[in-house]
Structure 1
Amino acid sequence: MPSLPLPSRRRFLGAAGAIGAAAAFAGTGPAEAVDNDVVPIDWRNLGTYPGADAAGRRVKEILAGSSRYLIGPWYAATYTRYLPDGYIDLKGTDERAVRLPAMAAVAAATALTTRTYDERTLSAANATIRTRNLIRTLAARHRANNTDAATRWGGDWQTALWAYYTALAGWLMWDALDATDRGQVAAMLIWEADRLTTGNDIFLVGTSGHQLYMTRTDGTVVSPGDSKAEEENWSAAALSLAAVMMPGHPHHARWTRRNIELLLAAAACPADLTSDETINGIRLSSWLRGTNIADDGTLQNHARLHPLYMVAFDQSLYQGFVFGLANRAAPRAALHNIDRTYAALVEKPFALPDGGTSPIYRANSPEIYYPEGNDWGTHFPFYFGNFDLLVSLTGQDTGIDPAAAKWERLHNQDQLTLMSRFADGRTYGADAENTYYGREHRIGAMAGQAYLTLFLARNTTGNRLRWR
């Protein structure tokens, strides 16, 4: 893959007064380990993927539009000044201040490195500068690199996910980062990954606080209506990325083991508690101490059976591309019970309010049926189309009818219909469509990771999505 375009070394004001920072390019050889043993992606051995197949065209268009919006108008309106230390002003340390730019960085970094970026309103060179701004500032503000309690983030229940997004974007654009940036990206990810290895088969971190299961083996419901699946697979994501980026690090084995543990706990169902199956060295009946999903593949969140959290297992399936970027096989644990959950979306009947039944996926329609309602809004086609694509590419729809590829087409075409309402690449209009304040950023992060999965599955060197 060609190197990224070289940005100017001078600071400049972009459209709407957005700021930029000079990016120093210091390329490394594809097998050279630098900065805490980070091994850069060897793009030359991964072939090319033009996104010319039907699913590829849809996801490519979603990614191009979303990244153009996020690194263009959104960035310009959000980041208008430097702080005295030369970093952009994140305006806080909470989810809005950290997760949102991290997701935007994933979208933009993917679009730039896979040559899907749309330059119609901002050049690739300037988009590269802005993306680097996000990555370097987020990493510098993490507590691994920052002693200022007023401006640092990290060590909270969701921060492993924010670190994963930031480090993934940084790894994709490694050549655009200088030595300081690289070291801080690595330190941030190491800190969050190491924190997660302190947990056990009951607790996420340490020996108290957040537990791994909604329901314990003795029947105790630890968190009524609140599956722990999502936070475990996003925590596993940080562990997987650390292990892949830094295969020679002294903590590699611990990260690898804990990644597998969290993947299995996230998708554990009652049948697993008596199963003799061993996955990646872990016997389910011996290690698991509870469950997060039902045997029928459904799960609860926000005190309801919640389809949006069923498709949050996308984060487990993204491990295919993370390992594939290093030409390695992902752990089989990432696929555990995905087929159960997908069957529940496509085939399981649920009662309708006026009588009769319907699956969550409505026949021959992009419409989603929420059996117990949806407290997040009304329009989420790409959340489902993204999951459909991942299920199809990983073969987790075997025996399920209709197959995932059909649903991907329906849901992602509906996503493109939403986007067609706007000229700037965004998806949403009225807040009621999706009430999450990071709704555009969520679309961008999903699109980036979905396209990377397609890239690894359908590149010119052959399918790199492998499972061991």
Structure 2
Amino acid sequence: IAIAIKTGIYDPSITGVSLQEAKDKTIQLVRSVAYDHKINNTRKVWGGDWQAAHWAYFAGYSAWLLWDDFSPKDQTYILQMIVAEADRFLPTVPLYYKDSTGKVIFKGDSKIEEDAWNAELMYLAAVMLPSHPHSNKWLNKAVAYMIAATSLPSDLHNSKIIQGRPVSSWVNGSNMEEPGFVINHGIIHPTYNAIASMINAPIVFSLVGKSTPEAARFNLDKIYYSITTHSFSAPPYNAPGGPMYKPGTADVYYPEGSDWGQGVYDTYANLDIAAFTYGWDNLSKKYKGKYWAKLHTDKVLAQQNRFADRHTYKGDSENSYPGREEAIATRMGSAWMTIWLQKQAPAVYDNQPISK
């Protein structure tokens, strides 16, 4: 809702809710989340645990888009939430699926998503609070987490310079398999090749006209190659084999199945739009991001057109995630921001060292 309001596309004739009521509800939701964070010494409902940075990012980002509509007291609660979550990562190191010897640390459970969403919160904090004494520390740590999130075993010997250092000096393990696919929930999981937390950095930095760190697109071209072009043999993988994306259809091939359901298309649409917007589709053969984006966005629209209220999924058989309707709103909101911001302030990448 905050994205729709910020970019001027909110339409009461479609939602049946006035602009003012939509804004009021958004503010109430966000301020309530911040109020309940334990740093604010209120009800101490949440904070400092596994997904806390993820939720703090969404709340903080939404608040930032409508910042002047929040009271000074609410702004204080929101900033304290963001700072508390960002600060807790300063003494930490990123997590890895495999260590530097190739030993699996977390069986069947890549840490791509945790590292990515923790980085997301830290760079949001750095961009929102550039004068804070920890701003550069947050950004440095965000860079480390972004590189770790999409690291491959070969990156342990990668001499490419990212933000002033060889990639090999940034990483201490890997979270993807060559050439760029992800193991999660015990299987090769295409959904985690398209995880939205990896692709939001250009949005956050572009909102204030700042360059996006080069680390934010590290190996994303390899992720996209692996989902569009890399071929899986069947057997040992499920029939029919081949690439995860199939020309002429929005359907995605899951080499080892999917425990979330196979009716999820919005996550791929978001990835496709980012890929062709930022050029991450450069390794893909024949069909590029724009081709796949149309297939996947058309499929999402077809799903929504099945229902009078335009929700997306018919149930667990398509997407078993409990927050599936809320999740699609965040991902398609991200896709829209990618498109909208490129018209306002096109993303620029910067590979300069980040001072501490």
CA distance in 2: counterparts of 1:373 and 1:230, whole angstroms: 19
CA distance in 1: counterparts of 2:239 and 2:27, whole angstroms: 54
Which 5+ residue runs of structure 2 have no aligned equivalent?
Answer: 351-356
Query: In the alignment, does 2:138 pair up with 1:245?
Result: no
> Which one of 330, 342, 350 corresponds to residue 212 of structure 2?
330
What's the CA shift for 1:355?
6.0
CA distance in 2: counterparts of 1:251 and 1:192, whole angstroms: 12
The normalised TM-score by structure 2 is 0.94
Alignment of 1:20-169 (within 5 A): 108-120=1-13, 121-149=16-44, 152-169=45-62
The normalised TM-score by structure 1 is 0.72
Query: In the alignment, does 2:348 pair up with 1:466?
Result: yes
**Structure 2 counterpart of 1:175, one-letter code:** D
Query: In the alignment, does 2:137 pair up with 1:254?
Result: yes
Count of aligned residue pairs for this structure pair? 345
**Higher mean C-alpha displacement, 338-347 vs 410-419:** 338-347
Structure having greater relative contact order (Cα 8 Å, sep ≥ 6): 1
What's the CA shift for 1:275?
1.4
CA distance in 2: counterparts of 1:355 and 1:188, whole angstroms: 47
Query: In the alignment, does 2:154 pair up with 1:271?
Result: yes
Contact 2:125 2:138 in 1 (8 A): yes
Q: Which residue of 2 aligns with 1:428?
A: 313
CA-to-partner distance for each residue in 1:324-366, whole Å, 9 max, x for gaps? 0010011100111111111111111123468663210012110
Contact 2:148 2:170 in 1 (8 A): no
Query: In the alignment, does 2:99 pair up with 1:199?
Result: no
Secondary structure of 1:393's partner? Answer: helix
Contact 2:147 2:170 in 1 (8 A): no
Query: In the alignment, does 2:341 pair up with 1:456?
Result: yes
Contact 2:31 2:74 in 1 (8 A): yes
Q: Which residue of 2 aligns with 1:366?
A: 250
What's the CA shift for 1:221?
0.9
What's the CA shift for 1:147?
4.4
Larger radius of gyration: 1
**Structure 2 counterpart of 1:274, one-letter code:** H
CA distance in 1: counterparts of 2:346 and 2:221, whole angstroms: 21
CA distance in 1: counterparts of 2:111 and 2:298, whole angstroms: 31
Q: Percent identity?
A: 35
> Which one of 339, 355, 369 corresponds to residue 221 of structure 2?
339
Distance 1:217 1:119, change over 3 A: same
CA distance in 1: counterparts of 2:41 and 2:338, whole angstroms: 33
**Higher mean C-alpha displacement, 355-364 vs 415-424:** 355-364
CA distance in 1: counterparts of 2:293 and 2:154, whole angstroms: 29
Query: In the alignment, does 2:322 pair up with 1:437?
Result: yes
Contact 2:228 2:243 in 1 (8 A): yes
CA distance in 2: counterparts of 1:382 and 1:445, whole angstroms: 10
**Structure 2 counterpart of 1:222, one-letter code:** I
CA distance in 2: counterparts of 1:117 and 1:426, whole angstroms: 17
Query: In the alignment, does 2:279 pair up with 1:395?
Result: yes
**Structure 1 counterpart of 2:125, one-letter code:** A
What's the CA shift for 1:375?
0.4
Q: Which residue of 2 aligns with 1:280?
A: 163
CA distance in 2: counterparts of 1:304 and 1:332, whole angstroms: 30
What's the CA shift for 1:422?
1.4
Query: In the alignment, does 2:292 pair up with 1:407?
Result: yes
Secondary structure of 1:432's partner? Answer: coil
> Which one of 95, 98, 104 corresponds to residue 221 of structure 1?
104
Secondary structure of 1:377's partner? Answer: coil
CA distance in 2: counterparts of 1:382 and 1:221, whole angstroms: 31
CA distance in 2: counterparts of 1:148 and 1:450, whole angstroms: 35
Query: In the alignment, does 2:264 pair up with 1:380?
Result: yes
Distance 1:301 1:275, change over 3 A: same
CA distance in 2: counterparts of 1:135 and 1:123, whole angstroms: 18
